[in-house]
Amino acid sequence: MSSSARRDPSIKEVALVAGVSHMTVSRVMNDYPGIKPETRQRVLDVVEQMGYRPNMVARSLATQRTKRIGVLVESAVEFGESDMVRAIETAARAVGYSVTSVAVRDNDMSPQDAIAHLTSQGVDALCVVAPRSSSVAALRQITVSVPVLVVKSDKDPTFLTVSADQQQGTNLVVDHLAGLGHRDILHIAGPLDWLDARGRERAFHARVKSWGMRERAIVIGDWTADFGYDFSRTITKVPEYTAIFAANDDMALGVIHGLHDNGISVPKDMSVVGFDDLPTSRHFLPPLTTVRQDFRALGAKVMDVLRAALENREIPQRSKIATELIVRQSTAQPRHLS
């Protein structure tokens, strides 16, 4: 018989070689707790050697699960959202799940239509990457029969939530600038309908107040480098404030460009900090001090929470992933201390 026609091994054959019951093989493949580590490893070794692949149709009929997660993402062209989806896909594959995703952009599909499409695929659970408060409000109007998790930064009594710790990241920025001697910081926020932007703005106000800094009005941007550039081009002379905290790296890039064109040096005359740690941030001139969000850890946490919900295990309503300040050359002591 040719190798191309060779029959795939069955679960009973795997069990025979591994010296266990076929139920034990099934439990290992479904990652059930309570199996001895040496037994689990022996089964996995035999599975690998024999090239066994579970019959997904039979599994879904037996368990009434498809091992598929539906992901609805708004504005998937944004760095954070697209990176989040990739991280969820990677984490899902690692635990034997697949992902079906739908991107909702302006006016092309409603959240209701997107969720109806995903649930028609027989998904076991839904993850919604919804950066705007209006998206979450729309989601509340939809009845879904599977567990729902929303990737967003604030508390929510309705949904499970997972997010990077926006407050911690913002505190790290303000504390870093305060440690350098800055006492007057301008914040350029993102659109305040965006939950991360609002979380960073609120955390900024609270942290500068705790330091006794001057509390000046924020500037509300639109996330783009063009906004940062256009705003900073209006700064025709060195202002009273000595640092700018932009709510994302793109706006920070535009700020640095506009300040340079106006003859204001970064960081000699003005320190600039961003948020996100874009892959290009280390190549800005000067390289950008920013906050890194660990999207891989976020994706893994999303899958941990959803699997716990599907298995009726106890789980926190809200989970947060730590952020990290990446200090580069765009920040320094304020000009009066230099």
Give the separation between CA 192 and CA 133, rounded to whole angstroms.
9
Which pLDDT value is given to residue 57? Answer: 43
Which pLDDT value is given to residue 166? Answer: 94
The residue count of the chain comes to 338
Is the distance from CB of 193 to CB of 183 less than 8 angstroms? no
Question: What single-letter DSSP state applies at residue 213?
Answer: -
Give the separation between CA 145 and CA 208, rounded to whole angstroms.
43
Give the separation between CA 227 and CA 274, rounded to whole angstroms.
14
Question: Mean pLDDT of successive 10-residue segments in the chain (338 residues)?
Answer: 55 87 76 78 87 57 67 68 82 87 72 78 84 78 83 80 94 98 97 90 97 94 96 94 97 97 96 95 96 91 90 86 97 85
Under 8 Å CB-to-CB from 267, ≥6 apart: which residues? Answer: 286, 329, 330, 331, 332
Please spell the DSSP secondary structure of 149-170, one letter per residue.
EEE-SS--SSSEEEEE-HHHHH
Which pLDDT value is given to residue 106? Answer: 60
Which pLDDT value is given to residue 286? Answer: 97
- Nearest partner of 266 among 255, 279, 275, judged by Cα: 255
For residue 71, the surrounding DSSP H or E stretch is strand 68-74
Which pLDDT value is given to residue 118? Answer: 82
Under 8 Å CB-to-CB from 71, ≥6 apart: which residues? Answer: 85, 88, 99, 100, 101, 102, 118, 126, 127, 128, 129
